[in-house]
Structure 1
């Protein structure tokens, strides 16, 4: 027998080390060639490492959350043959999974669920657990039956710990979530319904902050530590805009259904040329502000693992239908772990929406090194005065947080007022 040392290869992003997100194997396991063995996180993505040889695992580099340097031992595998075998690992296969790292900039704050997503609990993974692969995979108990159960790695790990067969759990949406496991434990496992007025009790849990959640924590702390934030909020009458949106949806044919976001993005893109200081990135170490001509708009999107920021490239060149399609595509890619690394970096301005959760106003945290982030809030119907008459109007608050080192309060207020003008008279969205 011989010992094969699999060293962490250069993933091609100029990094010195990567974080262990999760192991797919343990000491003593038999692995086959090209079998996934570990998920390693860089600053931009989670990279799935595959075994270049077949054999038995005899040593692992560490636990989830530990850092491994490029060129250091990741896994030692006992293989057939005589003499030691050097490791010349092939290029890593990159997969952006549910635990995909945040973009090169920090993610927006947790005030809202992001674009079109519902909130979910953060992954619950104890240090000694070995999370499953981030990508949804068939339930092992169902192999050979052609049945696939979709669930995040954290949900799979918890189900395994509790001894729950995921095929027996009824999902509330497109995949099994923690709430579905709770419902199964309460109702579906023979315990019956809980007495009225008493909710299910969960024990205390100690959760190690690793992977994507640690990146979020570090980046958010850096953003608040380095950037002097200020937030401006204004109320916008979107009655005419909502009427236009409904009319456009009625005649959309095969095109995607319009939400408020594509119309808002058009208004933002048409307004930004007059406010170049907002579509910018600030390198505070070099003391340089880069004002961008193109609008690469980041969309804060809720996933099972937390907020991610896929980017609409050259948003200023797209019409409302193209924007609607791209929003849907990027949000789905982020939630299902199919977003590419280049789709998660390079934003020049970020938009974060609370969606159906609403809210009166938000104070979102800037996506460093950007200098501004915009947050639309829920549309509500309220009585307003029009002249001497009281009429029903659809109103929406629009928030913007800015870096006060680069953007003055007058500039932020003037920008929002210009966006407001276009949204309240939507004909301005379609003329220069």
Structure 2
């Protein structure tokens, strides 16, 4: 007799507490192998394929694509073990006792899982060809199915409960569309949308006037609503926290980047004889940043307010802002202080490609100590960047364009860039921040200055 095991959304690490189902990789009735990826989810940091620790037949899936689930919520159930041909696979909560079977023989599966619920976001096992079990092949007793724990309200997600509370919605009055009547986010949102408009409220400015309320729901302004979740939600939380907790200040300077661009052209071999990948401007600026942080380590630090201490960090894990279809992400070049320009450039290229394809791992998006933000690619000159909490500083780089400039006592057309540094005023004063920015500008204007640190 097969045993039905429930696979719950595992702890994805990095402090993540929920994930959105992007794409199911299996369907009910499919045969899965141990550690086979069964669903692709999007967390606040990356796209992740989740492997199932059990091998057997999928008997139920919990959640449609687009549903957000908390860690620990049921993902799917798998019938594990060997059954007789006369038995039938049934969905979660279905009764036993099927009629005579027909079709293929029973499915053999491992009686226990691998234990690798989520190791490295995919186990690297060879792909397994999916087999669909014909109807009326296996039978699963109802008692063996692990269902959602009973309770006064069939709600698993705390996010759904929070949404209902925000709109004074009584969940006991809703019929859930999920498995076994589970109330989903879509059910709550549908109830909010279908609320009958309230009678006209008192005119604006009337004493005692309050927002119109109908059926326990507060009327909200009309317009398109875009959920703040996934990467966009994580960015919103981090930026808001940065503004709340960090007393930031910004200084900026214009720099003549003509010599830097000439040095880059020489590195890349203007005659076409250069070997290896091209050196990018971002890679050069990143190397300049690591040299500047070696001189001004105050800006490669974080603040521990509980201990009331500034923590200067020994390694430079350099983040760089990258705009993707999923939103703004900040991949991190590990140990950038040990890399030369070519090594930094190669790692930036690799991480950028992974960001575009949505394959960055959470570990590649965390742990940064300083961020480089090249917003010049958007055609703007300057900005006041928000620090990437809990870091202490961010260098912003505008576009590099020809401008009139006094060079060697004469007016000339030079390639000019605006550099801006936003820094945590708790870790240093303006003199240190200005010294850092001036050194960066000097390296941009005279790349030979970098030779002292190479």
TM-score by length of 1: 0.66
| Aligned twin of 1:408 | 429
Distance 1:233 1:278 in 2: 16
SS in structure 1 opposite 2:400?
strand
- The answer to whether the 8 A contact 1:58-1:78 is kept is no
2:384 paired residue number: 363
Where structure 1 has 5 or more consecutive residues not aligned to the other structure, the ranges are: 97-125, 130-203
Q: CA deviation at 1:62?
A: 7.9
Q: How far apart are the structure 2 equivalents of 1:26 and 1:274?
A: 51
Question: Which residue of 2 is the match for residue 76 of structure 1?
Answer: 77
Name the structure 2 match of 1:4.
Answer: 4
Distance 2:63 2:373 in 1: 38
**Are the structure 2 counterparts of residues 428 and 371 from structure 1 closer, same or farther at C-alpha, using a change threshold of 3 Å?**
same
Q: Deviations over 1:215-251 (max 9, x none)?
A: 1222221111111221111100111111121122126
**What secondary structure, in the 3-state scheme, does the structure 2 residue paired with 1:378 have?**
coil
**1:30 matches 2:14:** no
* Higher RCO (Cα < 8 Å, 6 or more apart): 1
Distance 1:65 1:429 in 2: 51
Look up the SS of the partner of 2:17 in the other structure: strand
Structural mapping, 1:107-122, within 5 Å: none
Q: Which residue of 2 aligns with 1:19?
A: 18
Give, in angstroms, the shift of residue 355 of structure 1: 4.1
The match for 2:328 is 307
Q: Tell me if structure 1 keeps the 8 A contact 2:21–2:68.
A: no
Partner of 1:60: 62
- CA offsets 1:2-54 (integer angstroms, 9 cap, x no match): 56232336547385x73131153499833330454334556654432234344
Give distance in 2, aligned partners of 1:42 and 1:289: 31
- What is the DSSP-based 3-state SS (H/G/I as helix, E as strand, rest coil) of the residue aligned with 2:250? strand
Structure 2 residue 364 is matched with structure 1 residue 343:
yes
How many aligned residue pairs are there? 327
CA–CA distance in 2 between the matches of 1:360 and 1:5? 57
5 Å-filtered alignment, 1:70-149, equals: 70=72, 72-77=73-78, 81=83, 88=113, 90-92=116-118, 94-95=120-121
Query: Counterparts of 2:342 and 2:51 in 1: how far apart (Å)?
Result: 40
Alpha-carbon distance between aligned partners in 2 of 1:61 and 1:382, rounded to the nearest angstrom = 56
Inter-partner Cα distance in structure 2 for 1:22 and 1:410: 49
RMSD in angstroms over aligned alpha carbons? Answer: 3.4
Match of 1:215 in 2: 234
Alpha-carbon displacement from aligned partner over 1:183-240 (angstroms, at most 9, x marks no partner): xxxxxxxxxxxxxxxxxxxxx7543332222212222211111112211111001111
Indicate how the Cα distance of structure 1 residues 407 and 39 shifts in structure 2: closer, same or farther if over 3 A, else same: farther
5+ residue gaps in structure 2?
Answer: 93-109, 123-183, 188-222
